[in-house]
Amino acid sequence: MATTHDIDNQYTQAVADFVSALRYEDIPAEVLHRIKLLMLDSFGCALYGVKLEWVKILKETLREVDSTETFGTWGSTDRFSAPHAALVNGTQVQGFELDDVHRHGVLHVGAVTLPAVLAAAQMNPLQGKELLAATVAGYEIGPRVGIAMGQEHIGQGWHSGATLGVFSAAAGAARAFGLDRNKTVHALGIAGTQSAGLMAAQYGAMVKRMHAGRSAQSGLYGAMLARSGFTGILDVFEAPYGGFCSTFSRSTDRFDLEALRAGFGETWETMRISLKFYSCVGSNHTTLDAIRTIKARRDFTPETLREIVVHGSQVTVDHVGWPYSPQGLTSAQLNLPFCVATLLLEGDVFVAQFKPECVNDEERIALSRKVRVEHDPEITALGSKFRHKVRVDVHYDDGHVESETVEAPRGSEYSFASDADVCAKFMKLATETIPADRAQQIVDVLMEMEKHDGQELIRLLSMR
């Protein structure tokens, strides 16, 4: 196998060093507790995702070419090969805009990490402590790549969860396989060259739901192939021509390689991951929180509303601020004006509010026309850490204006959800698919994962 001695890949090596050397004992207690909650949240999203149309189509299509019945898909008895199981499971987690997000790194972390880690853990059985360490390794890497790339990455049209996610998946799977530093470098290099995902998928296409699954699959492939001696790009991050950073960024001054290794063992990106309590894209949550606060202060109805103006970053404007038109559930859940209308008319923005027929709801569409999303250069200038910050102005029909500024939504790293709230969301989603007693078993095993075999969790999730 090629070595890393003759090439300047100090940043890729630093990532590989962290991943391959990470021990359960190195991880602070608060991070271990948080990772369990984050895992539980992702599993809840996946279990709800079983019944979604795009998941059913994906499984039916895969079954035409894959008769393997070795690796389980979560919440059902359907089984496939490891890469196809990872593809399905990642699609389920990201299937209904319910899963976590690292706002600064612009990444849904669980959807890309967990399918790869659990597939690797089934091939290389792990005790609970090792499973947690592998998961943390994955959760730490993808967000750092996102921070290094900056918000311009998504701004120029890449779907960051699809492009960045391969590195979380590869890192987690490499750690689950116990790969050394050199093989982990190759796992990252193999995964990185498979990176892909276009943001135009948000406008109604089912394929947006599959992006996380593809990242999980690509990262798993990277670790599996590296484990067998297959080689990848040694300087996948640093390469000036054809490297990940130079290719997926407009210019060399748009990315920061040092961010890839900053704070290893001291700053834990796992602690900066937010949870969602609305079933829509994370960019919409601060606005929805602001409107709830304003309504509590001075109530209004659609009839007494003149307009709502949302002032946000350029990424917010481009990502979610376009005038709504019916193009499918994906578009409905990503469009900010439509989600605002949903909140005002339905009282919530969760799974019950997004049935297929809502896409053409004339009342919601009409109300969405009263919502404008405008660029605020001052918010954009704050950088990617503040890309979800908004100032919301509600204009009443009597001329009164109420304003509210929200930097981060409920469930964010600044006001993380309680254990009870996370468990309640999990149970609400999981029991749409599986019996309550089995859902409770998953909670009990996961929250004391150190005492259990990883296979026990895998069995509970795969329904066999």
Pairing of strands 305-312, 371-375: parallel
| pLDDT exceeds 50 at position 4 | no
pLDDT, tens digit, 9 for 90 and up, residues 307-342: 999 999 998 999 899 999 999 888 999 999 999 999
Helix/strand/coil for 392: strand
Q: How many CB atoms lie within 10 A of CB 28?
A: 13
Q: Tokens 């001054």 correspond to what residue?
A: 253
pLDDT of residue 365: 97
| Cα–Cα distance, 128 to 65 (Å, whole number) | 33
Residue 1 has pLDDT above 70, yes or no: no
Looking at residue 277, its pLDDT comes to 92
End-to-end CA distance of the chain: 39
Q: What angle do CA 412, 27, 16 make, to 5 degrees?
A: 95
The label of the residue with tokens 């606060």 reads 293
Distance CA 116, CA 158 (A): 22
For 301-310, what is the mean pLDDT?
Answer: 97
What integer pLDDT is reported at residue 251 of this predicted model? 64
Q: Which residue shows structure tokens 């005492």?
A: 451
Q: Tens digit of pLDDT for each residue in 209-237?
A: 999 999 999 999 999 999 999 999 999 99
Average pLDDT over residues 193-210: 92
CATH of 282-406, one of 3.30.1330.120, 2.40.160.10, 3.40.640.10, 2.170.16.10: 3.30.1330.120
d(CA 142, CA 138): 7
Please give the Cα distance from 40 to 446 (Å, whole number). 7
Q: Rounded to whole angstroms, how far apart are CA atoms 309 and 394? A: 7
User: How much is the mean pLDDT over the chain?
Assistant: 95
> Regarding predicted confidence, which is higher, 150 or 25?
25
Name, in order, each residue with C-beta under 8 angstroms of 147's C-beta and a sequence gap of 6 or more: 104, 105, 256, 259, 269, 384
Residue 364, classified by CB atoms within 10 Å of its CB into exposed (0-12), middle (13-18) or buried (19+), is buried
Task: Read off the pLDDT of residues 123-174 as tens digits, 9 standing for 90 and up.
Answer: 999 999 999 999 999 999 999 999 999 878 888 899 998 999 999 999 999 9
To the nearest 10°, the Cα dihedral for 335, 340, 343, 349?
A: 30
Which pLDDT tens digit goes with each residue over 66-124? 999 999 999 999 999 999 999 999 999 999 989 999 988 989 999 999 999 999 999 99
Contacts of 428 (CB under 8 A, 6+ apart): 44
pLDDT tens for residues 398-435?
A: 999 999 999 988 888 888 999 999 999 999 999 999 99
CB contact at 8 A, 232 and 12: no
Token readout for 252 is 């060399």
The CA distance from 112 to 340, in Å, is 28
Query: Is 65's pLDDT higher than 90?
Result: yes
Residues 400, 404, 406, CA angle at the centre, nearest 5°?
165
Q: What is the CATH number of domain 10-277+442-462?
A: 1.10.4100.10
Boundaries of every domain in the chain? 10-277+442-462, 282-406
The pTM assigned to this predicted structure is 0.88
